[in-house]
Amino acid sequence: MLLGKAVWTYLGVDHFIVENWAGTWEAIIPAAVFGFIAMKLAGKTGFPDIRDEKISNKERFLYPVLLGIAFAIIEILVGLAMNLPNIHVPFPFSIPVYLSGGIFLEIIYHLIPIVFLVWFISNVLLKGKLQDEVFVVVAVLASLWEPVTQIMGMYRMGILTSTVFGAGLFIFIFAGNLIPITLFRKYGFLAPVVWRLTDYSLWHVIWPMIYY
């Protein structure tokens, strides 16, 4: 994450996604610190260790890759249906941007909030009880944040006009959060990172090179 940020900062990538992205050093460094703490707490809240020997490479890598490919294909189809312009960072700058961005988003969207909330509610407040139930509630709430903010923003900008299409897109974005959270719970934090980087590789890097 830090290396990717350093590379695209050094290259001086000029793109609105980079300019508006929260991936500044002031955001990335605390994310790395709190992410490290969350990784240490994860084992106490029911999440597998990133090197858990009980998790096979098929579970840690293959399943996330397949899910990432499927999700990216749906993203491409949605983009075509919405007639989206080229919003992607151009190649080869897309590689460091989406590499660092993908890891960063998994840390701030999922790793830090979910682990800390499950730990605080279940381990601290409930004295270690109802850990799985707390996780489910936190996972659903965390998965709702992005679709709510994105769909509302799209309606305000006039990108979305169909309620039915908006509802479908809401479900899709919700799934795009619930999938990596579930992978994290079942297979450890490396699995959702692999999922997101696979998705970003196809949607943000390879597809724009082919289509635009």
* Cα distances (Å, whole numbers) of residue 158 to 84, 86, 87: 13, 17, 16
What the block records as the tokens of 131 is: 């850990």
Residue pLDDT, tens place only, 17-36: 555 554 566 777 888 899 99
Q: Measured between alpha carbons, how far is 105 from 84 in angstroms, rounded to an integer?
A: 22
Using the Cα atoms of residue 23, residue 24, residue 26 and residue 28 in order, give the sign of their dihedral. Answer: positive
- The amino acid present at 61, given as its one-letter code, is F
Q: Measured between alpha carbons, how far is 84 from 212 in angstroms, rounded to an integer?
A: 11
**∠ CA 169-170-176, rounded to 5°:** 90
Q: Provide the strand spans (E) within the chain.
A: none
Whether residue 72 is predicted with pLDDT greater than 70 in this model: the reply is yes
Report pLDDT for 178.
Answer: 96
Task: Break the chain into its structural domains and give their ranges.
Answer: 2-211
Cβ count near 101 (within 10 Å): 25
Residue pLDDT, tens place only, 126-147: 988 899 999 999 999 999 988 8
pLDDT, mean over the chain? 85
Instruction: Check residues 71 and 83 and name the one with the higher pLDDT.
Output: 71
pTM: 0.85
As a dihedral over the C-alpha atoms of residue 143, residue 19, residue 198, residue 27, rounded to 10 degrees, the angle is -60
Axis crossing angle, helix 63-81 with helix 163-187, rounded to the nearest 10: 170
Q: Nearest CA to 134 among 143, 123, 145, 150? A: 123
Using the Cα atoms of residue 61, residue 110, residue 143 and residue 3 in order, give the sign of their dihedral. Answer: negative
Q: How many residues does the chain have?
A: 212
